[in-house]
């Protein structure tokens, strides 16, 4: 068993989820163009889970489990205004580039990133459907120190409605460890959203 830890994160990107259904014509799971979000300092994930033990004949007989949404916390540099507005569903005035902070029109996005491990290999991730919350913003007075303020984005990830051909099931994410033993081709992993049906094996040789 090889022991490694995470030590690095980069390539924080997103793409709008355009369709997510099981229609055979004009539907399915489709996404828009991949775009960068911001420089990323840290990513953490928690998954909503619950379990309950059922008793029969005075003994614990079965355990019922359920899995809910994923909450992804992204500590990153401040996104440019157009990207920020797109993620949280605000309006950009195309004439001036100003953001109109009014009623939200939030959309679903796929979220991509990769973790680096201490052995130099990477874990590639696409989260297939989720929504960004409006983040808190903080800025303090400039002084003779080096303190600055970044931004913390929260992304709530859920399963797709679409059932992928490869698994016959919905999916929340695609995760690939790019190691020497890996059979998965990640050369175009972030050029578009990689869903389960778009996974390809490395060519022989």
Domain boundaries, the chain: 6-198
Residue 39: count other Cβ atoms within 10 Å of its Cβ: 12
- How high is the pLDDT of residue 197? 95
Tell me the whole-structure pTM to 2 decimals: 0.91
Q: With beta carbons less than 8 A apart as the criterion, state whether 87 and 14 touch.
A: yes
> Residue-wise pLDDT tens for the chain (205 aa)?
888 999 999 999 999 999 999 876 667 999 999 999 999 999 999 999 899 999 999 999 999 998 899 999 999 999 999 999 999 999 999 999 999 999 999 999 999 999 999 999 999 999 999 999 999 888 888 888 888 889 999 999 999 999 999 999 999 999 999 988 889 999 999 999 999 999 999 886 5
Task: Compute the distance between CA of residue 110 and CA of residue 26 in angstroms, rounded to an integer.
Answer: 19
Cα distances (Å, whole numbers) of residue 153 to 42, 74, 91, 102, 122: 11, 5, 18, 19, 23
Helices (H), 39-126: 81-88
């Amino acid at each position: 068993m090889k022991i490694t830890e995470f030590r690095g994160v980069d390539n924080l990107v997103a793409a709008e989820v355009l369709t997510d259904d099981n229609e055979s014509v004009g539907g399915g799971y489709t996404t828009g163009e991949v775009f960068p979000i911001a420089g990323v300092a840290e990513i953490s994930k928690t998954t909503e889970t619950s379990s309950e033990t059922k008793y029969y004949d005075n003994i614990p007989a079965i355990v019922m489990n359920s899995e809910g949404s994923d909450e992804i916390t992204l500590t990153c540099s401040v996104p440019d205004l157009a990207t920020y507005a797109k993620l949280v569903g605000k309006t950009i005035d195309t004439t001036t580039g100003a953001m109109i902070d009014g009623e939200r029109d939030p959309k679903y996005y796929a979220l991509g990133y990769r973790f680096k491990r201490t052995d130099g290999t990477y874990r590639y991730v696409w989260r297939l459907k989720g929504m960004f919350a409006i983040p808190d913003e903080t800025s303090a007075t400039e002084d003779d120190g080096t303190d600055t303020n970044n931004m913390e984005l929260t992304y709530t990830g859920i399963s797709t409605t679409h059932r992928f051909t490869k698994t016959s099931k919905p999916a929340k994410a695609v995760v690939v460890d790019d190691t020497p033993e890996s059979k998965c081709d990640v050369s175009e992993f972030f050029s578009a959203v990689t869903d389960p049906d778009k996974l390809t094996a490395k060519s022989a040789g």
